[in-house]
Amino acid sequence: MQAAEDLATARRVVDDGESPPRRAAFLAHLAAEKALKGALIAWGIATRKIHDLVELLSSLISDNAVTVSSEDIDLLVPWNIAGRYPPDLGDPRQQHWRWTPPGASWMP
């Protein structure tokens, strides 16, 4: 599963001690995005080609397919772009990369 691979890479980025933590936060965002999209596809829920975790999560919740903490998603939202470019947000807290993407535990 690509989401799990991205999350594992995020953990390696943090563990290497040399890479900027924002890279790990970006990879955690990517993992969450892939996990949410995977769940939508698996359950036959239509979605647009987007990177918006809040909208992806809303699609799952509105169809009662799954319950994921919106607080967890909110932690990752800023890092979609900030993880790629010089940081305007500062360094992410460790909870951004330690978070397990929603699909890791409930994918069919």
Estimate to the nearest angstrom the gap between the alpha carbon of 37 and the chain centroid: 10
Which carries the bigger pLDDT value, residue 86 or residue 42?
A: 42
CA atoms in the 13 A half-sphere facing the CB of 31: 28
Does residue 107 lie within any of the structural domains? Answer: no
DSSP string, 44-85: T----S---HHHHHHHHHHTTS----HHHHHHHTTHHHHTTS
The answer to the question of residue 24 being in a domain is: yes
Instruction: Identify the H or E element spanning 104.
Output: helix 103-106
77: tokens are 């939202």
Indicate whether this model's pTM tops 0.85. Answer: no
- CATH number of the CATH domain containing 26: 1.20.120.330
Domains: count for the chain: 1
pLDDT at 27 > cutoff 80: yes
Query: Do residues 24 and 10 touch, judged by C-beta distance below 8 A?
Result: yes
Within a domain: residue 79? yes
Structural domain for 20, as ranges: 2-101
Q: Decide if 19 is inside a domain.
A: yes
Residue 108 lies in a domain: no
